[in-house]
Structure 1
Amino acid sequence: MNSSIISLSKKAISLLGIALLWQLVAMQMDPFVLPGPLETMRTVLSYFGDPEFYYAVYRTLLKLLIGMVCVLLLGGCLGLLLGLYPRWKPYLEPVIDIMQSVPPIAWLGIAIIWFGLTDLPAIFIIVLSTTPVLVVNLYEGFAAIDGKLMRMAKVYHVPGNKILRHIILPSLKSYLKSGMITSAGLGWKLAVMAELLTSVDGIGSLLSDARTNLETDRVFALALFMAIFWNVIKSCITFLFRSRVSLPTHLNK
């Protein structure tokens, strides 16, 4: 409990320092260029009474959720395939490299041509740009699995399904968590970017409107909301991986 309080106190001090620095810089500039934290907070509070804001948040979160489910299924399968059957690596590695090397903005251009100004371009770039992150994390997890434990399981003729459930998957848990957090963080930013460039309903669309109307305070307020929402998403993912998985004493039973 004390360590949690100390950690929260340090974060509060850090945020307070950022707010003070922000205020000092804002005092030297025009509010149109850099609104202060108090003005930004007033704009933040004004959004709570705006039904359009809640709908925009729902639309962005929905795209992120659909995209991350696809990433988990596709990236999880590819990561397990590369880990369990390394001989497939030379065939799949070029595909992963292409997905990882092409900038998301290029994928977005292709998606707009294919799917038009709909929700699909946002989901498309989330899947293509974040799947390699999860695949690489899982593949590294396989490399870190205790070789002695695997050899022991083979000596005792442990069935393959038990090796997968009791050795491989628990060993990959931390790598899967790291991969999902990194992928979700990137996916969150890509979803907003796609909405901003396509003006499709979502937080990005609100940002586009604020930019067009030169409402800098609204841009800062929405950026603050995005930071808050991301921390909530990250906490939810961390909570899902909180339960500990222990290896059974007798693997061969």
Structure 2
Amino acid sequence: MKAAISPAGSPTATYRRNIRRSQRNRMGAAAAAFAVLLIGWQLFSLTQPSYVFPSLPHIFTDLAGFATDGILWRATLATLKSVCIGAAASLVVGTLAGFALKRYESFVGPLLNFTQTVPYVVWALMSMIWFGLTQISVVFTIFVAGFTIIAFNVAAGLNQIDRQLFEMAESVKANRYMTFRHIILPSLTPYLVSASRTMVAICWKIVVLAELFAGGASGGGIGYNLYVGWEFNRTNEVFAWTVWLVILMLLTDWLIIAPIERYATRWKRG
């Protein structure tokens, strides 16, 4: 049986056109912002010595050299491994902590607030004491920085679920799985996606701090190479690794978070 095709003037077709137009506008605005940033960077670099503020061609030349030597890929894989493990652990534990926060707020709330209040640099130092100069200490620092973000957002999402939906589920004698699948999970999806985007961005930032403290024992990641560039006064390398880190953060959002968000909210587009 063929699916019905929405007429060109139907509300559904109009809504889809508006969505596509909005997406094109956002892409155009993002491209314009990047163009302004790149032009501004290049113009400012012309007023400064290369050891103070290197130009973009200089930076990308260094990145090409790192890629040829293999350093770029080894550092990226080491950092990516830490970020993936830390983010996955943050997502799982943070989701469970969010449910616990909703149910036992007076007990779980202070614990999460304490964890979030302690500066990340302190967690990085403590992880070095507990786990030594290892990649485990890097993953732990990422995890501590990320899971509270997920927990608070999950709890906020649970608090916003309409009570009438649960009453409706009870009226049709829906079991717990059906309630979770058709009410709780769809209601939490926007909160989880938003929290995941923030959490992943935090993970990419924290991994640099943790790898800087752990040194070469962290697997020789991006943070370690940033420190080496700073220690030997190679400003161009510091900028090059920073630009590469930003590129990785953007790729993570565009290739992973954004597609998941589109899939999770596909029902809105009809």
TM score, norm. by length of structure 1: 0.90
1:3 Cα deviation after fit = 4.8
The corresponding residue for 1:250 is none
Aligned residues: 244
The corresponding residue for 1:192 is 208
1:218 Cα deviation after fit = 1.2
- Is the contact made by 1:170 and 1:246 (CA closer than 8 Å) also made in structure 2? no
Q: What are the ranges of 5 or more consecutive residues in structure 2 without an aligned counterpart?
A: 1-19
Q: Provide the C-alpha distance between the structure 1 equivalents of 2:208 and 2:264, rounded to a whole number of angstroms.
A: 34
The corresponding residue for 1:31 is 50
Match of 2:224 among 200, 205, 219: 205
The corresponding residue for 2:38 is 19
- Counterpart AA for 1:134: I
The correspondence of residues 199-238 of structure 1 with structure 2, limited to 5 A, is 199=215, 200=218, 201-235=220-254, 236-238=256-258
- Is the contact made by 2:100 and 2:108 (CA closer than 8 Å) also made in structure 1? no
- Counterpart AA for 2:30: K
% identical aligned pairs: 27
1:244 Cα deviation after fit = 4.0
SS at match of 1:145: coil
User: Is 1:125 paired with 2:145?
Assistant: no
- Distance change (3 Å), C-alpha of 1:132 and 1:226: same
- Counterpart AA for 1:103: P
- Is the contact made by 1:122 and 1:194 (CA closer than 8 Å) also made in structure 2? yes
- Distance change (3 Å), C-alpha of 1:12 and 1:126: same
SS at match of 1:126: helix
Q: Provide the C-alpha distance between the structure 1 equivalents of 2:97 and 2:43, rounded to a whole number of angstroms.
A: 50
The worse-fitting range, judged by mean Cα deviation, of 133-142 and 35-44 is 35-44
Q: Provide the C-alpha distance between the structure 1 equivalents of 2:266 and 2:206, rounded to a whole number of angstroms.
A: 36
User: Is 1:166 paired with 2:182?
Assistant: yes
The worse-fitting range, judged by mean Cα deviation, of 8-17 and 218-227 is 8-17
1:48 Cα deviation after fit = 2.2
Q: Residue by residue, what CA displacement relative to the aligned partner does 1:78-121 show, whole Å, maximum 9, x if unpaired?
A: 112333xx2x1111111101110000111111111111111011
- Is the contact made by 2:63 and 2:72 (CA closer than 8 Å) also made in structure 1? no
- Is the contact made by 1:130 and 1:183 (CA closer than 8 Å) also made in structure 2? yes
Q: Provide the C-alpha distance between the structure 2 equivalents of 1:181 and 1:144, rounded to a whole number of angstroms.
A: 20
- Is the contact made by 1:78 and 1:135 (CA closer than 8 Å) also made in structure 2? yes
Q: Provide the C-alpha distance between the structure 2 equivalents of 1:127 and 1:227, rounded to a whole number of angstroms.
A: 20
The corresponding residue for 2:17 is none
Match of 1:134 among 139, 144, 150: 150
- Counterpart AA for 1:243: Y
- Is the contact made by 2:74 and 2:221 (CA closer than 8 Å) also made in structure 1? yes
1:6 Cα deviation after fit = 4.0
Q: What are the ranges of 5 or more consecutive residues in structure 1 without an aligned counterpart?
A: 248-253
The corresponding residue for 1:60 is 79
- Is the contact made by 2:142 and 2:206 (CA closer than 8 Å) also made in structure 1? yes
Q: Provide the C-alpha distance between the structure 2 equivalents of 1:41 and 1:126, rounded to a whole number of angstroms.
A: 28
TM score, norm. by length of structure 2: 0.84
Q: Provide the C-alpha distance between the structure 2 equivalents of 1:246 and 1:189, rounded to a whole number of angstroms.
A: 30
The corresponding residue for 2:97 is 78
Q: Provide the C-alpha distance between the structure 2 equivalents of 1:189 and 1:143, rounded to a whole number of angstroms.
A: 30
User: Is 1:157 paired with 2:184?
Assistant: no
User: Is 1:96 paired with 2:116?
Assistant: no
The corresponding residue for 1:251 is none
1:5 Cα deviation after fit = 4.4
- Distance change (3 Å), C-alpha of 1:28 and 1:9: same
